[in-house]
């Protein structure tokens, strides 16, 4: 079984619709992240959470919101989808053992391909 799962895997929606992308993990990690990937732009951080009560904005949080329902679940919402939010979205986790000197390895889910028409 996959350690980090994302649903849905593909979604086509219309401008103005509210969309929720869900992420679940069985790795037991405290830290969870949402990234957006556009061709040629690498991975851009949207939001991250270090535990259930900790939510932080990333570099491109405008137009997005998140909810950390439990240690294992972190969902991303687009309140009113627009076409330039068409992208590949990845959820990731990392453990808290890395500390300052650790690797903080990111473990990615399979991604959700979102198309906003």
Partner 1 sequence: GQSLEQPSEVTAVEGAIVQINCTYQTSGFYGLSWYQQHDGGAPTFLSYNALDGLEETGRFSSFLSRSDSYGYLLLQELQMKDSASYFCAVRSGGSYIPTFGRGTSLIVHP
Does residue 5 interact with partner 1 by CB under 8 A?
A: no
Q: Does 26 bind partner 1 (CB under 8 A)?
A: no
| 61 alpha-carbon distance from chain centroid | 11
Instruction: Name which position in 90, 114, 115, 117 contacts partner 1 (CB under 8 A).
Output: 90
Contact 49, 39 (CB under 8 A): no
The values of phi and psi at residue 33, to 5°, are -140, 150
- Does 28 engage in binding with partner 1 (CB under 8 A)? no
CA distances from 114 to 11, 59, 103 (A): 5, 19, 30
Residues 49-68 that bind partner 1 (CB under 8 A): 50, 58
List interacting residues with partner 1 (CB under 8 A). 31, 33, 40-45, 48, 50, 58, 90, 94, 98, 100-101, 103-111
């Amino acid at each position: 079984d996959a350690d980090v799962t994302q649903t849905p895997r593909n979604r086509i929606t219309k401008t103005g619709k509210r969309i929720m992308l869900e992420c679940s993990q069985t790795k037991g990690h405290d830290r969870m992240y949402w990234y957006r990937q556009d061709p040629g732009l690498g991975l851009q951080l949207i939001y991250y959470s270090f535990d259930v009560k900790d939510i932080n904005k990333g570099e491109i949080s405008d137009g997005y919101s998140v909810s950390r329902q439990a240690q294992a679940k972190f969902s991303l919402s687009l309140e009113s989808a627009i076409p330039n939010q068409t992208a590949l979205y990845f959820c990731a986790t990392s453990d808290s053992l890395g500390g300052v000197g650790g690797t903080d390895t990111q473990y990615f889910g399979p991604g959700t391909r979102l198309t906003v028409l």
